[in-house]
Each structure stands twice: as C-alpha cells, then as structure tokens.
Structure 1
Amino acid sequence: MTKRYKYLSIITLLLAGVGVLSCIDPVGLPIRQVEPRLVVEGLITNEPPPYVIRLSYSGAFSSTNPTPDELVVQGARVTIAEEGGRTVTLEQDPLTPTYYWMRDTTFRGQVGRRYALRVELPDGTRYVTAPELLAEVPPIERLYAEFRQQPEGSREPDHYQVLLDTNDPPVRGNYYRWSGYGYVPHRSTGERLGFAGICCNWCWIPIYAPPTNVLSDALVNGNRLSRVPVLSSPIYTVGRHYLEIRQYSLSREAYQFWRRFEEQRQRTGSLFDPQPASIEGNLHREDQPERIALGYFGASAVSKARLEVPGDTLSVHRYQLRYGDLFTPEGNCLRLFPQSRLSPPSPW
C-alpha cells in the first residue's frame, strides 16, 4: 500500500465518521465502577497434595502485571475442612503471594466426603463455602488422536485433535470436566557455537488446555461417552507428541458455575450489548450471606491417561513445502519458549 493511498483511506474514514456524527447524537457509554470483590480459585482432589488456593481482589490488571500489589490478599488465614474430620491450614507463598498452599501429606481428599473452604481476612471478615462433595469419576477408557489439516493458505498450524471415550455410571447426576497438557516438538534457527556448530534448534515445548469444557450426563446417563474433544495439539514440526488428559468429577453446583463461565467466555456481541454480569461462586461472607465472592472452590476425583502420538504418518518434506519457515523463529529454542526442554519427557 502506497503512502498516498494510505492517507486517502484515512481521510475517507474520517469524513465518514464526521457524516455519521452529524446525524446521530453522541451516546454516553456507561463505565462500570464496582467495589473490589474477593476472588477465589482452587480445588481439592483425591490425588496426593499439595493443593493450592488462589486469592485476589477483582480489579484492573495487565499482561505485564497480572496481579498488582493492591489486588493481593495478604495475610489471610485459609483453611480446608473435611466434614466430620480434620481441618488443615494453608500457607501463603512468599514469592507468589496470591497462592496459598496445603502441603500436609497426611491430608488427602477422599471420594464420598465433603470439603469446605474458609477464608479469614486480616480485618476479621470471614468467607465460607458450603461443603462440596468429592464425587467419584470413571476411568478414561480410551484416548486417541486424529490429524486435522488447516485450509490451504492458513497461517495456523495443523493439529492433532485428542479425543476420549469413557463410560458414564448408571446413576444420574454425574458431571465432568477435562483438562490437558503435553509436550510437542518445535524448531528454531538455533544458536551458533562457533566451530562447534549450532545448538538448541530443536526442543519440546509445553502446551496446556485449561479445564473449561464441561458435560452433564442428563442426556447420556449410563451410556458410553465417545469422541469427547479434550485437547488440540498443534503441529509446528513433524515429531512425537506427549500428551496427558485429566478427567474430573464435578458437583452439580460446580457444573452450573463452569457452564455459565464457559458461556460467558464464548459470548460475542456488539459494543452496545449489556455488560456481562459477574459469575458468582460458592464462597460467601459468614455474617452477610448475600455478599458472594467471585470464583469457585471445588472438590473433584481425577482419572488421567497419557498418549504418545508418533507423528510418523506425516511427511517432513511435504510439511516443509507447505509451511516453510513459518513456525521456525530465530534464536535458541530454549530461550524462545519458557519451560521447554531439549529432550522429550521420559518415561511417558
């Protein structure tokens, strides 16, 4: 695009804007001013500890400073209580103060028991949850991947769609949630080491699928859940993919919370649509139950399965002809991708 054409385009847009403003009265958009609210995120499972609870206040944040100091909940007393059993106290992380850890190895979530979270702020304000049931979860019966090719001309990589099969128990009222992570191969130009050649032009980088998609057995009670999509594993270069999927049980209340969360996350609309309402969770003030915190404290049983995708059905030559150096950045692979590794995870 030439400079002259660019300037003409800008002038045309400005004139069009002036014409619109001359016909339409200005609209004053509402700016939401809200009092900061407590935000909680955490989970106890039937796996060995540690368990972690994340506490913060709602407010403005940025990618460079995801939790400003004024939004950190400092010095709270956080406990998890097993109904009819023990109560354990969590410790605040001195380096990442939004995290409170439970590291007592003698305390572990048990299927069929209920667990409650209690948070006491430095000013004495107390927040509590109703006891949350840690329900049983069926095992993952089968985990597999299918190749998905992007349309011609796409600048997004092809990927493996990871799917699972599991059997829903015959009892009604089962709710599920999935997450996944893994390591996939990636190339870079590497780092020159003089006469020694090139270092670090190949590594395995981590990928994550946050636990967002949820499912109820209302329509499939007692039947097999087949081909549930749980992870998209991008193919930046031809090689093996090492993947792990975790299947969580949910209480009915947790399912409803995460379903609303996912609906709001996927919502699209215009500038003039109503602002989305905050999704309230299960933590409320002890003295004022109508004062509800944001986020959710849950209890889940976990089943997991691992999958190794060989990648041997793809042609390195054809893949390079299709994408060239599109996914080959310049530099040391380990420095380009945090938490990457030069060798694949072993054993898997």
Structure 2
Amino acid sequence: MAKAVLLLFLVFLCFSCVDEVQLPARSVESRLVVEGLITNETPPYTVKLSYTGQYNSLIYGQNEIPVDGAVVSITEIGGRTVVLDQDALAPLFFWMRDSTFQGKLGKSYQLRVQLVDGKSYISEPDVLNDVAAIDKIYAEYRSRAEGDVYNPDYYDVLLDTKDPAATGNYYRWSGYGYIPRISTGEPVGMSVCCKWCWIPSYGSVTDVLSDALVNGNTISRRLVFSSPIYYVGRHYIEISQYSLTKSAYQFWVKFEEQRKRNGSLFDPLPASIEGNVHREDDPNILALGYFGSSAISKRRLVIPGDTLNLARLEIKYDDVFIKEGNCQRVYSQGQLSPPSW
C-alpha cells in the first residue's frame, strides 16, 4: 500500500511540474548563394545560383531554391562581357559556353546577377593568377583502423609540387575518381547481370594552403585525395591544383573551419560564410558564397589494384559493402564500364 501511494504521489508530482511552453517561431530571411569559377581552361564554365531556404524554427524549409529568370554575366575587366544560359533541366546552374571567351592569366573577372525583382549583385573583381605545375601524384595503401568494420581501406593519393620563389601564392586542391564496386546483381533469365560497376568518388573542395611557411620550397607528400577500396580493381583518379587570390584563400579557410566544427560548448556559433558578392547599390548587403578566378594544373593516375588479395578482402569485409540489386542502380551514378576517357 505504501509503495502504491508513493507511486501515485510521484505521478501527480510529474504532471503538476510540467507546463507546455509555446516558443515563438524564429525565421531567417532567404539569401542569395553564389558558387562559380572561371579558369584558364577551355569553356564551358558554370555558375550555381540559389536562395537559402526560408528557415523556420518549427518547420524546416528547402535547402536550395533556384534563382529563376536571372540575367547572369561574366565580365573580363577591360574586355568583353558574356551572358550565361540557365539550364532548363537543372535550373540551379547557369552555363557559359562561348568557346571564344577563355580565362587569361593576369586578367580579372567579375560576375553580375540581375534578379527578376530588379535587384542586382556583383562580385569583387578576382584576378586569375598562375599556378605551379603538379610534378607528380602517387598512391599509398592505408588499412582501416583496428576494429573498424564500417569503413573500407583506402588508397591515399599524394602530391608533389614546387612553390615559386615569389611570395603570396595560395593553393586549393580537389580530387575525384572512379572506383570499382560490387552488388548482388540482378537476375536475368538463368543468369545474374550487372554485379560490377564503377562509381564516382569525390574528395574535399576546401583543401587550401598558403606558401607563408613553404615559400620557394617543394610541397611534398601533400595528401589531396583518399580513394575508398570496396573491391579489387583499378581506380581512375584526377587531381586538380588551383591558384587562389588572398581573399579567396581566406574564404575557403573560413568555410573549412566551420565545416569541421563539432558542436561542442567551446565552438563559436555557426555563421553564414559571406564572400565577395554584394548588392550593386549597397556593398553592405552581401550574398553567400564566392565567385573566383583560377589557373589549373591537373594530373591523372590509374591505381592498378592488382596487389590486393580478393579472397582476403572478401573475408575482411564480409558483405558489409555489398548492396542488393543491379550495381548500376543501387549505387549513385554507377556505370557498367570504367571511364574510357
């Protein structure tokens, strides 16, 4: 009886101490987001334009909203202006396909976005600096951590390049590749089809470096990409080395710092990363993102994969990384043949 009375008292206490609190909804205004780059490579170039979704603390909105009907142009300072075309199937993207308009070393480029409501945004001119050539890229095998059964082994792709003697060089690296994967396949009559395919794998786009501590020296064994090993086979890798202006370098440093925050009590509050694009009539109204100019040096590498033992790999992985169905369909952007290019 005493226990029953105590239980009823605790239940009564809980209900009497909990009041429903109606918090006011907090909304954040949608903002223009710009992502674009002009290079010294042959066009096309793309500019991605979107609005941040209308965020409400009670209801989540869209992450990206296309900027429909905008007039987008790129100007070479002291030279031509070209108008971009909005992609009808992927309206977030605007294309510059004029083959006679190509980025040139030492020239500065500016983006202009005229919105349908009459507001226009422009970027600060960004100079297209030269970039050192990549001397070589090479791969080293890295086994996953002891006891980690949910991540694969990797090929770490490393880079060597020589920084020029002049100070003030800034770099950014990106990498991607096509890697082999396996699935259970798809029954076709008495056989099984499409168990093997190649899928794209993308690395970070925020890997940047200033030559402040390495000026004039060789940048050696720089890790620029890690290619996951899900099955035995060749890995087709392409690494790009970009030049940056100082302002572009600072933008990417801020972007990466925010991306790596782990949400601890000691982290600063997250903030939107503003770049070099602002309202034409009011420089204090900034868009998010960055429009830049860059020279590019590229290298490709084929990792044979023939040093891996298939039987041992299958024992090590079991079926953790094998999905059911047609390989081309169950993995994003899967293709049945390796890239011919």
TM-score by length of 1: 0.87
Q: Which of residues 183, 187, 196 in structure 2 aligns to 1:188?
A: 183
Query: How far apart are residue 153 of structure 1 and its match?
Result: 2.9
After superposition, the C-alpha distances for 1:133-180 in whole angstroms (9 at most, x for unaligned) are 000011110101111111233121001111101011111111111111
Using a 3 Å threshold, how does the CA distance of structure 1 residues 232 and 32 change in structure 2: closer, same or farther?
farther
> How far apart, in 1, do the equivalents of 2:287 and 2:170 lie?
23
Query: How far apart are residue 339 of structure 1 and its match?
Result: 2.1
Equivalence for 1:158: 153
Query: How far apart are residue 66 of structure 1 and its match?
Result: 4.9
Asked if the contact 2:54–2:62 (Cα under 8 Å) also holds between the matched residues in 1, the reply is no
Equivalence for 2:3: none
Equivalence for 1:91: 85
Using a 3 Å threshold, how does the CA distance of structure 1 residues 124 and 60 change in structure 2: closer, same or farther?
closer
For these two proteins, the number of residue pairs brought into alignment is 325
Equivalence for 1:326: 320
Query: How far apart are residue 318 of structure 1 and its match?
Result: 1.1
Show the 5 A alignment for 1:1-348: 33-60=27-54, 66-67=63-64, 71-154=65-148, 155-195=150-190, 197-270=191-264, 275-347=269-341
RMSD: 2.7
> How far apart, in 2, do the equivalents of 1:240 and 1:140 lie?
22
Moved more, 26-35 or 209-218: 26-35
> How far apart, in 1, do the equivalents of 2:326 and 2:262 lie?
38
Using a 3 Å threshold, how does the CA distance of structure 1 residues 268 and 307 change in structure 2: closer, same or farther?
same
Report the AA paired with residue 100 of structure 1. F
TM-score by length of 2: 0.89
Asked if the contact 2:175–2:202 (Cα under 8 Å) also holds between the matched residues in 1, the reply is yes
Tell me which protein shows more strand as a share of its residues.
2
Asked if the contact 2:141–2:155 (Cα under 8 Å) also holds between the matched residues in 1, the reply is yes
Structure 2: which 5+ runs fail to align?
1-10
Using a 3 Å threshold, how does the CA distance of structure 1 residues 112 and 28 change in structure 2: closer, same or farther?
farther
Report the AA paired with residue 213 of structure 1. D
After superposition, the C-alpha distances for 1:303-335 in whole angstroms (9 at most, x for unaligned) are 100011111221111111111122111111011
> How far apart, in 2, do the equivalents of 1:277 and 1:66 lie?
16
